Amino acid sequence: MKKILELDPNIFIPLGFISMVIGGIWMGDAEEKNFIQLVLIVLGGLLTIGGAIIGFIQNRNTLKENKD
């Protein structure tokens, strides 16, 4: 758990957005929808949500440490 909290959330959030944008543009332009496009969108969403959760936990821990 400590190793996960040491990760930088500023890496996950932009990668997630980029993945979702690529998947969305590809899905919008393609005549056939395929599984890879959906995986890109879902993976991007999970990366973004994961980065947000890590950032929230790190921020909360920092606030607790400063309060003490």
Q: 28-60, pLDDT tens digit by residue? A: 887 888 888 899 999 999 999 999 999 998 888
CA distance 34 to 37: 6
> Is there a domain that residue 45 lies in?
yes
Say how many C-beta atoms besides its own lie within 10 A of residue 45's C-beta.
15
> Is there a domain that residue 68 lies in?
no
The pTM for the full model equals 0.79
> Is there a domain that residue 66 lies in?
no
Number of domains in the chain: 1
CA distance 49 to 13: 8
> Is there a domain that residue 65 lies in?
no
Give the domain extent around 24: 12-60
Confidence of residue 68 (pLDDT cuts 50, 70, 90): low
Q: Is the dihedral of CA 42, 27, 14, 52 positive or negative?
A: negative
The secondary structure element, H or E, covering residue 57 is: helix 35-67
Q: Yes or no: say if 58 and 5 are a contact pair by the CB < 8 Å rule.
A: yes
